[in-house]
Structure 1
Amino acid sequence: MSAERLDTLNSWRADWRGLRVAVLGLSVTGFSAADTLAELGAEVLVVTEKAEDEYARLLPVIGARLHVGPLDIVPTELEDFAPEVVVASPGFSPRHPLIVWALENGIALWGDIELAWRVRDKVVRADGTPADWVLVTGTNGKTTTTRLAATMLVAGGLRAAPVGNIGVPVLDAVRDPAGFDVLVVELSSHQLYYLGLQSGPQPVSPWAAVCLNLADDHLEWHGSFAAYRDAKAVVYNHTRVACVYNKADAATRAMVENADVVEGARAIGFDLGVPGPSDLGVVDGILVDRAFLAERATSALELTTVADLAAENLAAPHVVSNVLAASALARSLHVTPEAIRSALADFTLDPHRIEIVAVADGITWVDDSKATNPHAAASSLAAFPGAVWIVGGLLKGVDIAALVQARGAGAKAAIVIGADRSEIVSAFARHAPAVPLFEVDDAETENVMARVVELAADVAEDGDVVLLAPAAASFDQFASYADRGRRFAEAVTTRIAGQPQGEGSRDDDDAPDAGHPRSS
């Protein structure tokens, strides 16, 4: 297919019939792409290493073909299909053999976000225009900020939904017959990488966009920190109204300064300090907006207070930052401060995000299993200084030494789990040798958290916090970060239930026997 015809495919009502599209991967994202393309009349071949039974049964129903098998080389069926477009699910890295093959053969390479933008006019608003998009990315805080922004927009009277990497494919949202005013789209660096390849005449052009922060993550996928950073920066391209950035993170400011935006788009900063004009920040415990009001040079609008956020378990510093970022996005769409306060009064964090799972015998047990990289874990440790820190898993190519040096020395003790324990143990030996360190080397998933909790209970005292903030992915020992957090909570509950209330959690004369002490 010529590039000229591909350039015409910028509407649901364009002529997609007969377009040969290979969809790589059959997760929820891959299936949504295949389903959309089949509905448009394209010829669809789904190529995947494995397929869930439900999706495999549905593909022939919607009129798509399926190839299941090893993908270390390009399957003959894919070559014979001769796709004109390849739509890659986010799990396919730039160095995957199928991605390399597509690029080398000059085949148009899209992600699901590009496809969704092209067909976003399937359902339009009363004025005939499709929903506006607000884009959210960052190393940490994406999901919380996406949910916060969508909740604020709904409180402001808009039909809005959180979609994308949060779990609901954008393609499902653009095909929803009810339609939306705004889609708040959480984007991973993987999705942004593919979005950065787009070359059509109508690129994704969001109403507003934010990169919350930037730190080492997914380096094994991108190949380098520079490539990861550049993928994240794509979020600001062609923004029309508001580029929201973190004043405390110079990398996000640089992204905005270098972005190719629509003329008139404003840079809106946020952080926990006193805001300047065009910023959101905190003054004497009050979250304020100095960006979206006419008198911003001399005035500010109160959004909420840290005390009110504390009443909703939203006062951890990194969560306050997320609230400010989401508020900036919502204010760009004219949501009132009153609506923002109303939204925050009913908002709760997702499970496994600094979630208090139990308080017993003066010990607070906190599940932040979602802290899957050092940057996220650093925020948790800042919120709970002096905690008994449970750390470890798959480090994804990230060096944890800087986190241990900055925050590890303040821990009361550290309990190390997971496949990459040796790197963490070495980092403590170099940077925090005085911290009591225990290594749980049991590979059995069923036993790991029981042993961790036993160790933590032996170390913790009245007034202490035991914090699960692994700074690593979970897939070495658990099905997901949620599974890891759930097993931690279950182990805590089981231990508490197994001892009389009011009695100590251990015999102080007994040494812990659930791990290997590295220092004392």
Structure 2
Amino acid sequence: MTAVAEIDVRALTGARVLVLGAGVSGPGAVRILDALGAEPVVADSRPEAIDRLRAALPDGVTCAGVDLDRAAGLIAAGDGRGPVELVVTSPGWRPDSPLLVAAAGSGVPVWGDVELAWRADAAELFGPRRTWLAVTGTNGKTTTTAMLEAICLEAGMAVRACGNIGLPVTDVLLAEPRVDVLAAELSSFQLHWAPSCRPDVGVVLNVAEDHLDWHGSMEAYAAAKAQVLTGRVAVAGADDEIAARLLADAPADTHIGVRLGAPAPGELGVTDGTLTACLGTHRGDDDETVDPVPLLPAADVSPAGPAGVLDALAASAVALSVGARPEHVAAALRAFEVGAHRAAPVETIDGVHYVDDSKATNPHAARTSLLAGGRRVWIAGGLLKGADVDPLVAEVAPVLRGVVLIGRDRGRIAEALARHAPDVPVVQLESGDDDVVAVPDEPQQTMDRAVAEAARMATGGDTVLLAPAAASMDMFTDYGHRGRSFVLAVGRVAGR
């Protein structure tokens, strides 16, 4: 395999750039490439996806479209209009994908949209360089990023949440009015494809098994997360073993840990029920000490519970490191409302509580809701993505009243339940086709059956909890679709 050539982002004028994937990141990549004077060519196996991308482009922005076979030809030999000089890949494309292997073999650089945006911003091609604040972790990224944006807005910064949370990072560079601060939620996929990115401040919330089928190993997954800790300030969850280790090894000038207990100097934590920062110093007669600064009571944080408090501490640490003050933190977090499908109460019917935590797309995320208190009837299943569900099942077995399993990997969860919770009633529900859902209403029908079965298992005071511990794409469009299906199914139990 030949070495991959380097390319200067300032030299993309007139260059042919292949954009792999017409999905979420595709339109933003095309827009910024057009602004840089490049000639984007979008490759996707679905002609309708390319049509949707073109429809989403502003007037005057155009791109060619090719299928994946023609894309392979462009990488290997080009065409009458010349070779491809750069590939910008959708973050979901694995490094061992044939087209990306072919690009590396031909010496063509491969970037993600975050790498493209980072290089363009570092070169100040769209005005003075922005401040990059990056949030990653197995769980809590979206809530933390939204909290961070809220604090920075309260502090008067021109900030925009972006990346996995909505607006692509590439679009932020083109936004009017100008955005000076990027609060970027970045996945491990995006970070893998952004090797040059050095955020000014980055936070790793936690690291648990997830996406191992994509990265190949836990070590590679953790290494991708550690990419955000390579800038000026590194923040990480001090209670999480892997995140704490990544923080200790980070090359950043300043390290800040966040924990649920009392903070040590240089940390944020909780003291007597109050979020507290120990970041400033005071020089006394004999030595230098850290003055603890109270931020707000933990009871004022939403979402309630340990996970919400840790997210708030992490967002506060990042914001304080770029100029926000304690009063900004307190005001923003008191007014903050958690997003949908994150341990959201839906309804109480005949004394049974129904909670939508569809965002729990891996075992680590599901654990928090399962152990939040009280007996649970657990609705779980989907795509485990290589994660081991046994430790979770063993830990939560004592709180389970019953379990309803859906989705492609339901059998693996059932096997874990048989090993660790053999006395807990388990119902497995099959869809009509566990590989491709061909009937449009079938996911809703399966969820209706799941909630009805869970309602029959529950007794007064129990919680019927959708916390799948798995991804949704085997049956649903995304976790939001799955959560909305749950809410509809709860309504049917209520007779609506």
2: CA distance, partners of 1:99 / 1:69: 11
Structure 1 stretches of 4+ with a deviation exceeding 6 A read: 2-5
Specify the alignment match of 1:89 in structure 2: 90
Aligned residues: 472
2: CA distance, partners of 1:496 / 1:88: 45
2: CA distance, partners of 1:37 / 1:113: 13
Specify the alignment match of 1:244 in structure 2: 235
Specify the alignment match of 2:377 in structure 1: 388
The Cα shift of 1:123 comes to 4.4
Q: 1:29 to 1:323 in 2, by over 3 A?
A: same
The TM-score normalised by the length of structure 1 is 0.86
Q: Which amino acid counterpart does residue 36 of structure 2 have in structure 1?
A: L
Decide whether the 8 Å contact of 1:384 with 1:465 is kept in 2.
Answer: no
The Cα shift of 1:3 comes to 9.2
Specify the alignment match of 2:163 in structure 1: 164
Decide whether the 8 Å contact of 1:122 with 1:175 is kept in 2.
Answer: no
1:110 equivalent in alignment to 2:111: yes
Q: 1:368 aligns with which of 342, 345, 357?
A: 357
Q: 2:217 aligns with which of 208, 224, 227?
A: 224
Q: 1:258 to 1:459 in 2, by over 3 A?
A: same
2: CA distance, partners of 1:5 / 1:195: 14
1: CA distance, partners of 2:349 / 2:111: 51
Moved more, 50-59 or 205-214: 50-59
Instruction: Summarize the alignment of residues 18-417 of structure 1 with structure 2, pairs less than 5 Å apart.
Output: 18-50=14-46, 51-52=48-49, 53-57=51-55, 62-69=61-68, 75-81=72-78, 82-120=83-121, 121-124=124-127, 129-196=128-195, 198=196, 204-237=197-230, 239-240=231-232, 242-261=233-252, 265-292=253-280, 294=282, 297-309=289-301, 313-417=302-406
Decide whether the 8 Å contact of 1:369 with 1:484 is kept in 2.
Answer: yes
Q: Which amino acid counterpart does residue 166 of structure 2 have in structure 1?
A: G
Decide whether the 8 Å contact of 2:198 with 2:227 is kept in 1.
Answer: no
Q: Secondary structure at the match of 1:62?
A: coil
The Cα shift of 1:354 comes to 0.5
Decide whether the 8 Å contact of 1:123 with 1:179 is kept in 2.
Answer: no
RMSD: 2.1
1: CA distance, partners of 2:130 / 2:464: 44
Q: 1:292 to 1:392 in 2, by over 3 A?
A: farther
Q: 1:102 to 1:45 in 2, by over 3 A?
A: same
Specify the alignment match of 1:440 in structure 2: 429
Q: Secondary structure at the match of 1:497?
A: coil
Specify the alignment match of 2:452 in structure 1: 454
2: CA distance, partners of 1:372 / 1:3: 35
Decide whether the 8 Å contact of 1:389 with 1:466 is kept in 2.
Answer: yes
Q: Which amino acid counterpart does residue 485 of structure 1 have in structure 2?
A: G
The TM-score normalised by the length of structure 2 is 0.90
Q: Which amino acid counterpart does residue 134 of structure 2 have in structure 1?
A: L
Decide whether the 8 Å contact of 2:261 with 2:269 is kept in 1.
Answer: yes
2: CA distance, partners of 1:406 / 1:32: 43
The Cα shift of 1:205 comes to 2.8
1: CA distance, partners of 2:162 / 2:26: 15
The Cα shift of 1:4 comes to 9.4
1: CA distance, partners of 2:113 / 2:140: 22
Specify the alignment match of 1:509 in structure 2: none
Q: Deviations over 1:358-407 (max 9, x none)?
A: 12222111000000000100121122442111111111121211111112
Q: Secondary structure at the match of 2:422?
A: coil
